[in-house]
Each structure stands twice: as structure tokens, then as C-alpha cells.
Amino acid sequence: MRARGRLEPAPAQRNGRATLPPPRRQARASDEPLRPTTVGVRAGLLAIAGVIFLLGLSLFVFPGHTDRLFAWTIRPPLTAAFLGSSYWAATTLALACSAEREWVCARAFAPPYLIAGVVLLVVTLVHIDKFHMDDITGWAWLTLYAIFPPAMVALLLQQIRVPGEEPPRLAPIAPAALAVLAFQASVMVLLGTALIVAPVRAAALWPWQITPLTGRAIGVFVLAQGALISTVCRERDWGRVRPAMLQYALVGALHLVALLRFSDTVEWDRPAAFLYPVFVAGVFVMGVFGVARVAGAVRSGTAPAPPRVFRRVLG
């Protein structure tokens, strides 16, 4: 095909009809650069990752020693392992988001982190008598969650002032996958809210014994997870949710491991005892599916190349 004096390649042929190649991510309406993730946000996320990794270490690896190693004593150990799993998955989210150069690919952390930071501070103040305030662990916890929300707001205000445009959505999430993710997000938001607001009544919805404090702590992480997946549904594009999908696959895997470690803690006569592992397995499956779809979008050129540290996972 000849156009403007030069030879253009003909479209590929399939079943006798011309087919066009998939849209490349570089095709944008203007030459304005994409909004970058600021150095402050990336550094802040690395600092957060370091702190919450240590919290997850004490809870997931040593769940039976929270009386000495954590800010308050958590019983049974399965609850500590649950919280530790959530902290380690949040560590992955922080690391993955900090590695993303473009803000549109990094911003998924903002809603869940803000929710977790603010609500955990409120829960701490409501149950301050349960915390080890005669020990450094209690004061370290209170200081952390007193600083975290305003620091996060300051970083986000700095970030949104950075100019730049957003790329088009070239790797849309299919309606069926969006429906499953939206259902999971809705369940987590409703359950997390119930555990925070009315932990005693909502305890019947949980598969093992929880106290008002541990119920609210679990509820914070369930609600924050629902907020993260709601953000995925809002973005509606695999190229924008790489960190969230990595986190989703890992949180499902870690919660299943915790459940296997302490399966004798679960009260199997409760209906929730059978619904919980099925739901968590569904979280893991959707996380792995999402990671695979992100990798496919990278290979087709409709999503940005992954940061070097994640290329072995995402192609």
C-alpha cells in the first residue's frame, strides 16, 4: 500500500480479512509527559515497607509471642498470623508501588493505606487500655499511627500537584473479571465495616473467636483490602493495577497458609468456617489471574514494562 510517496506494510491477513495489530501503549493524544511518581512518595513507601515488614514478621513468624513482641497481646495465634499476613501483603504493595515510575500505575495504595492508618489510630485510642503502654512496643505503635495518616496526606498532596497526563486504557479488564472483583470488594467492605462498627455482633460472621479489639483490627484490614480492589475496579485496566494484583495473590496465599497452620483454631461448626477458605481461595485465584493478565498486557505492549525487580514475575 502506497501513501504519501512511501511504501506502507499491508495489514496482516486472517481468514481472508485484514487484522490490525493490538494498540501500542505509546499512542497518546498529546505529547505531554505522563505524571511521574514523586521521589517523596517513592521514598515514603519504602520507609513504610520497612516498618510494616517488621510488624508482619513478629505476627506471622512468632504469633504465639505477641505478649512480648507486639503492641498488645493477641489470642489466638491464628488472629496474629492473619494480621501478619495482611502486613506482609501490604509490604508487597508498598514495594511494588514504590518501583512504579508512573503515578497512574502506583496510586492504588492510597485508599487502603489512608483507611488503615486512620481507622487503626481510632481503634487504638478506643482500646488503649489493652495496649502495652508500659513497654516500648505500645508507645512505638501509638507513635507510628499518630504520624502515619498526616504524613501520608502530605505526600499525596505533594503528588497531586505534579503535572502530567494519564495514558489511555489499552488493556481493559473484561466485564466478567470486573464483576468477580466487584463482588469480592463488596463483601470485604461490608464485612470489614461490620467488624469495625459492631465487633461483638459481627463476631458470628468470623470463623474463629475474636475479641472487640482483634475483631476491629481484622475489620480494618478487610475493609482496606476491599478498598484496594474497589480501586482496581475503578481503574478498569490491567496496565494500571500491577502492584494491586501482586498484593492480591500474595494476601490470598498467606491467609491460606495461616489457616493451614492453625486449622484447629477454626470453629468448624460455624457456617463462616466453610465460607472463609472458599472466599480466600477465590482471592488467591483472582490475584494469580490478574498477575497473568498484567503479564499478557506487558507482552502485547498495552501496559508499561515492569520495573526491573519484577520482570521475572511479569515477563
Q: Read off the pLDDT of residues 28-85 as tens digits, 9 standing for 90 and up.
A: 445 678 899 999 999 999 999 999 999 999 999 999 999 999 999 999 999 999 999 9
17 located within any domain:
no
pLDDT band at 306 (very low <50, low <70, confident <90, very high): confident
3 located within any domain:
no
The residue assigned the cell 487502603 is: 112
pLDDT of residue 313: 53
21 located within any domain:
no
pLDDT higher than 60, residue 25:
no
Instruction: State pLDDT tens for residues 134-144.
Output: 999 999 999 99
13 located within any domain:
no
pLDDT of residue 27: 46
pLDDT band at 311 (very low <50, low <70, confident <90, very high): low
262 located within any domain:
yes
32 located within any domain:
no
Instruction: State pLDDT tens for residues 210-238.
Output: 999 999 999 999 999 999 999 999 999 99
The pTM of this model reads 0.88
pLDDT band at 15 (very low <50, low <70, confident <90, very high): low
pLDDT of residue 17: 52
Query: Would you give the distance in Å from CA 22 to the centre of its chain?
Result: 29
Strands 6-7 and 12-14: unpaired
State the total domains in the chain. Answer: 1
pLDDT higher than 60, residue 304:
yes
CB 156 within 8 Å of CB 110: yes
- Write the single-letter amino acid at 227: A
**Which residues span the domain enclosing 221?**
37-163+171-314
Burial call 289-298: b when 16+ CB within 10 Å, e when fewer: bbbebbbebb
- What is the pLDDT of the chain when averaged over all its residues? 90
16 located within any domain:
no
User: For 283, how many CA atoms within 13 A lie in the half-sphere containing its CB?
Assistant: 29
Percent of the chain with pLDDT over 90: 83
Strands (E), the chain: 2-3, 6-7, 12-14, 17-19
4 located within any domain:
no
Instruction: State pLDDT tens for residues 71-128.
Output: 999 999 999 999 999 999 999 999 999 999 999 999 999 999 999 999 999 999 999 9
Q: Which three cell numbers stand for residue 185?
A: 470488594
